[in-house]
Amino acid sequence: MAIAKAERLMNLALCLLGTRRPLSKRELRESIEAYLEAGSDDSFNRMFERDKDDLRELGLVIETVENLDGEVGYQARRDSNSLPPITLDAEEAAALGLAAKVWQQARLAGAASGALQKLRAAGLPEDVDPYEAHGALEPRIPVHETAFEPLMLACRDRRPVVFEYRKATAARPEPRHVEPWALECWRGHWYLAGFDRDRGAERVFRLSRITGKVRSRGGAFTAEVPDVVTVRETVASWAGETADRSALIRLRSGAGYPLRARATAVRELGDGWDELEIPYGHGLDAWLVEFGPDVVVLDPAELRADVVDRLRAVAKG
Amino acid sequence: MVGKPARPANAIDQTRRMLSLVTYLRERPGARIEDVARAFGITEDELVSDLDVLPMCGTSFRGGDLLDIDTDGERIWWHNPAALGAEAAEPLRLAADEATALLVAARAVATLPGLRESDRQALLRATAKVEAAAGEAAGASSRLSVTFESEGGVFADVDRAISERRRLWIRYYSPARDEVTEREIDPIRLVSVGHTYVEAWCRRSEARRTFRLDRVAEIKILDEPSAPPEIELRDLSEALVQPAAEDPEVVVEVGPGGRWVAEYYPHDSAEELPDGGLRITLRTPDPASLRRLALRLGPDGRIVSPQDLADSARRAAREALAAYDEVVTAYDGLDARLGASHAAGGVQERQYDRQERGL
């Protein structure tokens, strides 16, 4: 039976961490059973390279040293691999315990638990159940978009990418060449901010509109990454939340609670209708149409015309 | 414990766990399986499978110096802790992904308005310490961020009602019916998935209901004790709203401008149409609630079936248009011709909007 990968990785990690001098590939092969069973040199070499990458993914710093005979040796030195001293009290530990549970994405959930386990090994207090300590709260970060993981890695490693992107109102996706800067989750959806090479400017993309695979491109970023990347402000303006004008509407009494909750002024007209002043941002026309005959737009005229247009389209069927 | 995400076994996760485990066990001879599994946030079965692997591992490149770790099913014994040199047993530095996962989550949780102040302070202190300990590995964590949203006042009342086991009275807005109704609920737990929700037993419908906090118009904590029946909590990795198989089917056809419907509504199928639109089939217990959607779509889509729903949307639109003839004429004497010229402006406006939205 083939030896499990976790066992092989664990042995390689322990060898590299435990040694006081760099070990050659030959020495490592002789001391790890899975490598002895690897068969040909080729398959051993491939396995060894992959395993080193996996251990680096876990945070292990592996140094490569060439000795006088030109032979390469490997070592994970203690000073570059041990956690600096960190002392957390029980409250802090419970708070981190809660945070480590919020990811619903396998890679990040694994990484967050891994971080907590390393802290645990370093003496993090463990008496407190985070759910006990934090009452009834269960925050979750949803990640449903398949583009998330490759983009997260590309942001981390600052690697340019290309993907097919279908704009909100476009029938067909188009390839976009992007230097990815940052990902942000807002209201349960993920967005990417980056430099769009085709348009030569910063753009924000919604991950659920990326179709097909995210592919990495070689080479470095060509545009400077800003110190602060703002995703939420852009998305909020799409959602009509940055209103710079106001609108005047008539609303049937008792209807349209969310409109009332946002209103800056409400006047009862007494005939079964109220008059409301509400912020006028992007997308207000479509929202108002949802209320059908319970809303009448009075002002401004362009908003009224948009709403009437939409109503006509529905009335025609 | 509820809501622990189930994860497939993964060699990388298992390796990182075992590396921490050896450090941890070295300090704690005879540690109890139950306690170790809890400290590591894993099941006892997962821990036992790690304990099966560890005796096959060692540090000496000459071989023959394997970790002699075993368990009697209750406690874990390590008979040769010296087999692992002090070098190999030190707690390991955090990897970039680990620091990112923990720090981004901690910063997100700290934004929850409903978090108790003492907990927020503890979280902020812990975040600063982890950042310092992670050093360079913490750098990439600024490339990922999450904002939770919840209504602070409502959240605090729900949280208090849950911890004091008291019933709540709420006025709750239902967008499907565009109405605000009063109900008494026995709160069970608060859930943040994008928006924040309270899962509760609704005394009006005698059923489990999920209420979005930003739709709570008013809230009061009652003196009566909360007594929700024992119900099994749902797995949070599933969508909060799951249509049932017996729910009536609704078919919507949208043009390219209405493709967002497929992103926002859970659906059974979405077929591509030749014009770049979609034919979407979904199920809902209450098709009338989709009248809002039909109206919102305007020129970008229409209800194909059921006919009742399509008719009711058309009727609502005609009734609304009639109101414009009356009220708007009275308001500023606008006539239909003027309205039409504005309509042309409206088209340009929307094209501009599309460009903006299509970024």
- Residues A87-97: what's their mean pLDDT? 91
User: B172 is in which domain, residue-wise?
Assistant: 152-225
Integer angstrom CA distances of residue B52 from A61, B48, B55, B230, B265: 27, 6, 7, 38, 46
- Residue B328 has a pLDDT of 58
The confidence score (pLDDT) of residue B351 equals 34
- Same domain? B330 vs B293: yes
- pLDDT tens digits along B219-246: 999 999 998 888 777 665 555 666 677 8
pLDDT at B238: 55
Examine the domain organization and report whether B274 and B354 are in the same domain. yes
> B176 and B204: one domain?
yes
- Shared domain for B268 and B357, answered yes or no, is yes
Buried b (16+ CB within 10 A) or exposed e, B140-176: bbbbbbbebbbbeebbbbbbebbeeebbbebebbeee
Average of pLDDT values for A260-283? 90
Q: How many CA atoms lie within 13 A of B104 on its CB side?
A: 29
What is d(CA A130, CA A138) in angstroms, rounded to the nearest whole number? 10
How high is the ipTM of this complex?
Answer: 0.81
Residues 6 or more apart in contact with residue A51 via CB below 8 angstroms: A8, A9, A12
Averaged over B108-130, what is the pLDDT? 87
On the CB side of B70, CA atoms within 13 Å amount to 3
Per-residue confidence band for B193, with pLDDT thresholds at 50, 70 and 90: confident
The CATH number of the structural domain formed by A148-238 is 2.30.30
- Chain B positions touching A204 (Cβ under 8 A) are 359
* Strand stretches in B37-119, DSSP E: 69-71, 75-78
Structure tokens at A93: 């530990």
More confident residue, B100 or B343: B100
Q: Do B144 and A155 touch (CB under 8 A)?
A: yes
- Is A184 in a helix, a strand, or coil? strand
Residue B126 has pLDDT above 80, yes or no: yes
Query: How many C-beta atoms surround the C-beta of residue B355 within 10 A?
Result: 11
Q: Does B344 reside within a domain?
A: yes
Tokens of A39: 């068969």
Structure tokens at B250: 């609704």
Does residue B125 have a pLDDT over 90? yes
φ, ψ for residue A101 (rounded to 5)?
A: -95, 0
Amino acid type, A247: A
Q: Which residues pair with B145 in a beta bridge?
A: A184
Least confident of A131-145, A246-260, B252-266, B280-294: A131-145
Tokens representing residue A263 in the block: 């209103």
In a domain, B233, yes or no: no
* Distance set, CA A215 to CA A147, A175, A177, A291 (Å): 10, 11, 10, 43
| pLDDT band at residue A259 using 50, 70 and 90 as cut-offs | very high
CA–CA separation, B280 and B300 (whole Å)? 13
CA-closest candidate to residue B259, choices B298, B301, B293, B295: B301
The arithmetic mean of pLDDT across residues A242-263, rounded, is 88
Q: For residues B198 and A102, give the distance between their C-alpha atoms in angstroms, rounded to a whole number.
A: 17
Q: How many CB pairs under 8 A join A and B?
A: 470
Alpha-carbon span B20 to A114, nearest angstrom: 8
What SS3 state is found at B176? coil
Which CATH number applies to A5-81? 1.10.10.10
Best mean pLDDT range from B110-119, B258-267, B333-342: B258-267
**Best mutation site among A104, A169, A202, A241 for testing chain B: the one with the most B CBs within 10 Å?**
A169
pLDDT at res. A277:
94
The secondary element (H helix, E strand) that includes residue A137 is strand A137-140
Q: Is B63 in the same domain as B101?
A: no
> Residue A62: enclosing H or E segment and its boundaries?
none
Residue B231 belongs to a domain:
no
The CATH number that applies at residue B173 is: 2.30.30
Task: Tell me what pLDDT residue B324 has.
Answer: 86
In whole angstroms, what is the distance from residue B121 CA to residue B248 CA? 49
C-beta separation of B79 from A166 below 8 A: no
Task: For chain A, give every domain's residue range.
Answer: 5-81, 90-133, 148-238, 245-316
Best residue in B100, B102, B147 to probe A by mutation, most A CBs within 10 Å? B102
Residues of B with Cβ-Cβ distance to A227 under 8 angstroms: none
- One domain for residues B354 and B255: yes
Question: Are B280 and B344 within one domain?
Answer: yes
Q: Which residues contact A258 (CB under 8 A, 6 or more apart)?
A: B173, B175, B215
Place of tokens 């753009």: A203
Sheet holding B249-254, edge to edge: B269-272, B278-283, B249-254, B301-305
CA distance A73 to chain B (A): 13
CA atoms within 13 A on the CB side of A24: 10
Segments in B170-303 forming alpha helices (H) = 260-264, 291-297
Nearest-neighbour CA in chain B from A162: distance (Å): 16
Shared-domain flag, residues B81 and B126? no
Among residues B225, B255, B275, which one ends one of the domains? B225
Residues of B in contact with A54 (CB under 8 A): 11-12, 15
Query: Region A295-303: what's the mean pLDDT?
Result: 93
Residue B166: half-sphere exposure toward Cβ, Cα within 13 Å:
15
Task: Give yes or no for residue B155 having a pLDDT over 90.
Answer: no
B128 and B21 in a single domain? The answer is no
CA A27 – CA A49 distance, rounded (Å): 15
- Name the residue facing B146 among A20, A96, A185 (closest C-beta): A185
Q: Which has more pLDDT, B195 or A193?
A: A193
Strands (E), A187-288: 189-196, 201-206, 210-216, 245-252, 265-268, 273-280
CA distance B168 to B185: 5
CA distance B61 to B42: 31
Chain B residues in contact with A234 (beta carbon < 8 A): 359
By C-alpha distance, the chain A residue nearest B37 is A117
B230: buried, middle or exposed (CB in 10 Å: 19+, 13-18, 0-12)? Answer: exposed
Token pair belonging to A274:
């109220």
Query: Residue B5 domain-assigned?
Result: no
Residue A137 has which token pair? 């709260």
| Same domain membership, residue B69 and residue B101 | no
Give the DSSP H/E element, type plus range, for residue A126: none
Residue B69: which CATH number? 1.10.10
Across the interface, whether the CB atoms of B313 and A301 are under 8 A apart is answered no
In a domain, B40, yes or no: yes
Q: Could you tell me the pTM of the whole model?
A: 0.74
**Residue B348: pLDDT above 50?**
no
Read off the pLDDT of each residue in A18-45 and give the average, rounded to a whole number: 88
Neighbours of A287 (CB within 10 A): 17
Q: How many domains does the structure of chain B reveal?
A: 4
